[in-house]
Structure 1
Amino acid sequence: MKKEKIAISVDAPLLEIVDSKIDGSILRSRSQAIDYFLRKGLREESVSTAVILLKGSHQQHAFSPVKGRPLLELQLEFFRKNGITSVLIITQHTRTSGQLLDLASRQPIATEILEIEAKGNAKALLSARDRLRGGFVVMSGDTYNNFDLQKMEKKHAQLNAMATMGLMTRADTSQYGTAILDGDYIVDFQEKPRQSPTTIVNAGMYLFKPEIFELFSGAESLER
């Protein structure tokens, strides 16, 4: 692979740590050490797994045409373009489950369907705990927007957050969950209020660390 020469400024204490990792065997030079830890850090921060939470009663949404294509096809394309390599769809068995499997299997991204009976999106996600070893992104099954997932990942990493909810603004909030913010943090959340003091709403996109499952005991809703 072709390498490019670059000039960078590094704090002296940080450079000392890098130099201390040079062992003359695996890491033989400063540039090799920087390359190694940069790659390692990028792998750890990047998210490669996504979950789509699709209620069985809403399964028809997966086939709804958006811009002339099924919604699920656009969702999977969105994930693939944002570096996601595997997707898990959590749903329930319905008469359209076969169609869902057929549509998912024809997309150029590894997709698995997990059929589970669970009350609430938190319990549905908890059912997939053993399949989610690293950080992961979650999308509501009826969601489609041109969300900047990479920007969201960057903010998630900067804050070292256990959970990050994607937000957007809507003049009419009656069909959305609304969020009250204090800086970068959500301090109150209401699901589809008749009246809301804010236009900030849930975009149906979440980023989680795997440690989030430790907080799921008894919870039914991801938002609460």
Structure 2
Amino acid sequence: MKGFILAAGKGTRLYPLTLEIPKPLLPVNKIPIITYLVELYLKNGITDIKINVQKKHLKDFAKWRVIYFPRKKIELMVERKPSGTFTPIAKKISPQWFREPIVVSNGDELKELNIKKMMSWHRQKGALVTVGLVRVKNPKDYGVAKIKGDKIINFIEKPRKPPSYYINSGIYIMSPEIRKYFPKRKKFSMLESDLFPKLAKEGKLFGYKWRGRWTDCGTFKRWEFAIKNWKKK
């Protein structure tokens, strides 16, 4: 299997720290966040990995790769400016590489799930995009999925009355056909606003509910929680 990791965001909620250190390289128990993600990929048979990174952080990621995964097939794709979460996947990955469904993950979360099962489920459903959904106790702090059967109707951001306890866990299976949904003449494009709503309207956005450990490290509070609670098993 092939996998992509989104790691070129600015990490503004962790400023000024992320002005110097890219968010995926922040440590959780002395191990960079993205290391856990790559280990998850490798454990699930994902051996061909691409990671998009900001140009100013290329040396940091190159050093990380040498230290942690010197013999693994990991390509760093450089972005001069952040282009969102949809653009790198639809426009910057070669069609030859993206000929079959791939696994995509945000680079600032910790998660433990069986990706092989998620991929099988995606193929079985004939989905264009499958969003990994995880159940949380306090969904009001996140984008919450409104679900009908196996399909996602929409996501509601930080609702007062959540329609479910399931949120976007930042891991996806994507089929090559998503390219045709890319908005023309747009350099910055987001999965959450430019792709998912269109697929949901067409009934092609599926939600895969998984159980396991998950934590977001996108704010100081959540990063601190991860440091205190995430231990390697």
**Structure 2-normalised TM-score?**
0.68
Residue identity matched to 1:113:
L
Higher relative contact order (CA 8 A, sep 6+): 2
Separation in 1, partners of 2:183, 2:58: 29
Q: What RMSD, in angstroms, separates the aligned Cα atoms of the two structures?
A: 2.0
CA deviation profile, 1:91-131 (whole Å, cap 9, x unmatched):
2222x331111112341421111122344211232232314
Cα distance, 1:176–1:222 mapped onto 2, change above 3 Å = same
CA deviation profile, 1:6-56 (whole Å, cap 9, x unmatched):
xxxxxxxxxxxxxxxxxxxxxxxxxxxxxxxxxxxxxxxxxx111101134
CA deviation profile, 1:56-106 (whole Å, cap 9, x unmatched):
423632222234421121111110110011111112222x33111111234
Please name the residue that 1:60 is paired with: 22
Task: Work out the percentage of aligned pairs sharing the same amino acid.
Answer: 28
Separation in 2, partners of 1:172, 1:93: 36
Cα distance, 1:52–1:192 mapped onto 2, change above 3 Å = farther
1:93 aligned to 2:55?
A: yes
Gaps of 5+ in 2: 12-20, 197-233
* CA radius of gyration, larger in: 1
Q: Give the drift of 1:203.
A: 0.7
1:78 aligned to 2:40?
A: yes
1:122 aligned to 2:89?
A: no
Separation in 2, partners of 1:77, 1:158: 26
Please name the residue that 1:29 is paired with: none
The number of equivalent residue pairs is: 176
Separation in 1, partners of 2:139, 2:39: 28
CA deviation profile, 1:152-200 (whole Å, cap 9, x unmatched):
1121011011110000011212442211111000011123445523211
Separation in 2, partners of 1:200, 1:56: 24
1:113 aligned to 2:113?
A: no
Q: Give the drift of 1:217.
A: 2.4
Contact map agreement 1:72 1:104 (CA 8 A) in 2: no
Contact map agreement 1:129 1:213 (CA 8 A) in 2: no
Residue identity matched to 1:123:
T
Find runs of 4+ consecutive structure 1 residues off by over 4 angstroms: none
Separation in 2, partners of 1:136, 1:105: 24
